[in-house]
Structure formats: C-alpha cells, structure tokens
Structure 1
Amino acid sequence: MKAVLEAIDRLIKRVERLEKAVKAPPREAYRPSEVATLTGIGYATVLEMCRTGELPAKQVGGGRLWIVPAAELRRYLNDTSGTTA
C-alpha cells in the first residue's frame, strides 16, 4: 500500500510540473542539457551536434556555452522525425 501511495504522489508531482510547463511562455532558446532531456539524446552527443553544425547552435559566454535556438531545435526534430536509429 505504501508503494502505491508513493507512486501516486510521484504522479501528482509530475502532473503539477507538466501543468506549469504548459503555462510557461514559449522558449526562444535551449541549453544543450535541456535539448538532451527533451529529445532523449545524450548530452555529449548534443554538444557534438552543436560543434559539427548538425544541430545549429550559437556559442555565447566567450565561446564556452552553447545555445540552441528554439526554431533550430524544431527544424531538427521535424527533419529527423521520420528516421530510425
């Protein structure tokens, strides 16, 4: 019974996070870690994709940080949605 209650609590918290995300204003750009989380692609792979230009991104912070414009992420996802790994 305790496990069921814990599972319900986790689901409630997840629904609350999703509701908050839906209400949030649209993003203009994402960090590579966010892209990795959203797409399920590994963080190191996302960074390599930024470096090679497979996923168009901009370097900021003196070239130390990558930012992926939301439009480029959408374009990449649309272009790869029909492919399989």
Structure 2
Amino acid sequence: MIQQPDIYSALLDHSLSEHFRHAGEVLAEEAIVLGSAIRHILVRGESINNKNIILALVQRLEVTTDVVHADVIRNTLEIVVGHTIDDI
C-alpha cells in the first residue's frame, strides 16, 4: 500500500476525508492526486476547501496529456464534487 502523509487532516470536509481514509487501495491513485492538489493549495497559501480542491483538480486536468492520469484526476474530481454541498 502506498503510504500518504495525513494530509486529509487539513480537510474541513470530514466526510471527504473519511471517504479517502477508508478506501484503501481502491482509491490509492486518487488519494495521491488529492494529496498533491491539497499540497499545491497549501503552497499557494490558500485555504483547503472543496472549491479550491475542485479548481486545483480542473487546472491539473487541463494540462495533463496522459489519458490514464486524466481518468484518475476526473474520478478524484467526481468524488470531491459528490461530497460538496450545493451552496458552496
């Protein structure tokens, strides 16, 4: 199993955090993509919320040329959007 630092503790959305923590190997690649997006947001000095995660994932999706990686990013994006309340 790929070990990720506990970057999910930075998430305000506990449902999303728990979803990835308990998914194990099923979402291992998506967890890496999410972790990278969170680190990118932190480096920019922005707050970790679903809106910023979605924006970071869309930006990454726009620049990737690898179709397989694009699918992983898309799946990660779908999971985050699915855990986002409508009024954000």
TM over 0.5: no
Structure number with higher strand proportion = 1
Structure number with higher helix proportion = 2
- Bigger RCO (CA 8 Å, 6+ sep): 2
| Structure with greater Cα Rg | 1
Q: TM-score, normalised by structure 1?
A: 0.28
